[in-house]
Structure 1
Amino acid sequence: MAQQQVVFLTGASSGIGKETAVILHNAGYKVYAAARRIECMQDLQDMGICVVFIDLLQEESIRLCVESVMQKEGGIDILISNAGYGFYGAVEDTPLESAKAQLEVNLFAFAHLVQLIAPSMRAKGAGKIIAVSSIAGKVWTPFGGWYHASKFALEGLCDSLRLELKPFGIAVIIIEPGGIKTDWGIIAARHLREISESGAYKQQCEHYARALEQTYQGSSLSSPSLIARTIYQAISAKIPKTRYLVGFMARPMLYAKRLLGDRLFDAIIAYAWGKRW
């Protein structure tokens, strides 16, 4: 019988992460579901999934969490870096402390996890690293500058990492979701109002925040389970794709960007949110 593969998954307390933990557990993987809000993960624990605490803003927390899993299991076969959030606000208004936190969670925490886990994969001559990015790593919206910066950077980091690790039998795979039915947009709208609710961007900010809320409270977005199934597809594939573009408006948005160029794409984004700047 083949040895059970060990999965280390971040952002497992809700949405895509929780759905992924359940699917992989049911598929026979040994899943370590990591998140800061472990009180939201009792249902996973009841299923037999290993729930572990991690704070991606604290390097020591990341190190201790990974080391505890490595000591128990002797290694990690699959890393799924799913945790992330969108901090919205005009670039002019956003405190650099908040911008740095956005990059810390969405980019540097991933890099730290790779540095801790890749050596054990390299020793085995096999492994898979899944980075849940976003279509936001290829396109842009107003007031999302720091979020887009984190995802653009993550995409570039993964492309280089894929070339570095391929000779050691380690695959690096990027998941690029479109619009997914989670609390992401509601949280982004709240941040936007907190940062830019007064001053030069007040009118645009309120309009865009309302548009975010309407979109994420509507019924058009894709289910988190779609992304979870895509992650499972990437993990189980003998030769996975380098990228999986999936979810509401992901393909049309990327196609429009390639076809139209920057200025026309800017106009499309403005029109899509019902506002001309």
Structure 2
Amino acid sequence: MEKSDDRPVALVTGATSGLGLAIAQSFIDAGFIVFGAGRRQNPENLPAGLIYVRTDVTSNDSVEECRNYILSNAGRIDVLVCGAGSGISGSIEDTPISEAQAQLDVNFFGVVRTVQAFLPAMRQQKSGKIIVIGSIAGRIGMPFQAFYSASKFALEGFVESLRHEIRAFNIQACIVEPGDFRTGFTSARRKLVRPGSAYTSQFEKAIGVQEHDELHGALPALAGKRIVQLASARSLPVRVTIGPLFERFAVWVRRILPDSWFEAFYKIYYKL
């Protein structure tokens, strides 16, 4: 790769699996120079054309090394997609604080580290787009996924604030809120339930419904194409919800229904 290459440059974190992998593939198909970041030492089945940069978003040094590598090789960064994430589930009472902190460190502070690392280059360019992968769970609190939801709710406020700060530098930001997609995220989710927990029965019912919805969710390629469309658009909206129609409708309904009504619906839906 030469710095004179005039193709736009994109970085996708969490690019070794799930939505991140699909997003990276879509950017490659659209003709971008695509760097993909992930924690795996030697990931398999990466798409042709992806430039892999091993990166741990929970490490300041690792994120800075990733930035330095990309800027030294490509000379610029046009699109930053923060897609690295993980999930834990379990009752609030059963979840150790260390596990909750680790969840926030990946899903929230991992985004913060990455954005902070690349903003100086975008300011110097006076251009750039930042697309943060949130979740519908960042708009509607999910039973037995309190800390996952908390990490995604935090991203909502982060992106809203970020947009105000970077507008003067011709940089844009957007949060994308996926619903359920068929990825390895379901099998990778860590379940934290103590032996003999008072919450076991409710937990199993709720997670059973959630996993069923995930396994029957939308195809990841659809998310990849939508995010490339956003990256290529003239301006970014504050937020975009993607995924199954029913779930996007639920986010809309949440804004207008009384809280007690929506809670009653969730109680029925998740068999609580």
TM-score, scaled to structure 2: 0.93
Counterpart mapping for 1:102-121 below 5 A: 102-121=103-122
**Does 1:77 pair with 2:73?**
no
- After superposing the two structures, state which structure 1 stretch, 204-213 or 73-82, moved more: 204-213
* Match runs of 1:157-236 below 5 Å: 157-188=158-189, 191-192=190-191, 194-196=192-194, 198-217=196-215, 219=216, 221-236=217-232
Is 1:95 matched with 2:91? no
Where does structure 2 lack aligned partners over 5 or more consecutive residues?
none
Is 1:272 equivalent to 2:266 in the alignment? Answer: no
Equivalent pairs counted in the alignment come to 268
Identity, % of aligned positions: 35
Alignment of 1:124-163 (within 5 A): 124-163=125-164
Contact persistence 2:57–2:114 (CA under 8 A): no
What is the CA-CA distance between 1:262 and the residue it aligns to? 1.6
Question: How much does 1:40 deviate?
Answer: 2.9
The answer for the alignment partner of 2:17 in structure 1 is 14
1:42 is displaced (CA, Å) by 4.1
Q: For 1:57, what is the secondary structure of its paired residue?
A: coil
Range moving further from structure 2, 142-151 or 204-213: 204-213
The runs of 4+ residues in structure 1 deviating greater than 6 Å are none
C-alpha displacement of 1:241: 2.1
Which consecutive unaligned segments of at least 5 residues does structure 1 have?
A: none
Contact 1:183 1:216 in 2 (8 A): no
1:259 aligned partner: 256
Give the RMSD, CA atoms, in angstroms: 1.7
* Structure 1 residues 213-271: Cα deviation after superposition (integer angstroms, max 9, x where no partner): 33333x3x111111111110100001232221111233211122122222211111121
Counterparts of 2:220 and 2:64 in 1: how far apart (Å)? 28
Q: How does 1:55-74 map to 2 (within 5 A)?
A: 55-74=56-75
**Aligned equivalents of 2:214, 2:115: Cα separation in 1:** 32
The TM-score normalised by the length of structure 1 is 0.91
Take 1:197 and 1:262, find their aligned partners in 2: how far apart are those partners?
33
Alignment match, 1:250: 247
In 2 relative to 1, CA 184–52 (structure 1 residues): closer, same or farther, beyond 3 Å? same
Partner of 2:40: 37
Higher share of residues assigned helix: 1
CA displacement at 1:173 relative to structure 2: 1.1
1:71 to partner: Cα distance: 1.6
Q: Partners of 1:211 and 1:42 in 2: how far apart?
A: 30
